[in-house]
Amino acid sequence: MLSGFDHLVVTVTDMGRAVDFYSRVLGLDVRYRDAQRVDLMLGDTALRLHQTDTDIAPVSATPTPGSLDLCLRCQLPLDEFKQHLDALAIDVELGPVARQGANGPIESIYLRDPDGNLLEICRPATR
């Protein structure tokens, strides 16, 4: 029936700051759709940014920056990804910690984007 995500929408307060974070820190490719719409590509899935003060419709009933929890799979070992975050002075809130992912045990680290959205970066558990 359903096969995956086409895009996810993140409400942000500052488009430029969000684009910088998701592209520089997480390495997502930027696609500008128009002056108010930006897609950050992760494979064939888009993380679509909507700024709070734009008139894009339809939107969720109460779009609020900082309300998203997103888990992203990482190809690098988490220690290497954490070194990347450290080099950019990005705080890791928690981890690495053992968790349960959609397809089995994972190890995760947690951080926040500029609007306070919770981002979980995971890899399959090796233990």
Positions marked catalytic = 120
b (16+ CB within 10 A) / e for 41-80: ebeebbbbbbbeeeeeeeeeeeeebeebeeeeebeeebee
**Distance between CA 13 and CA 66 in Å, rounded?**
9
Tokens of 47: 């993380």
Tokens of 122: 């995971």
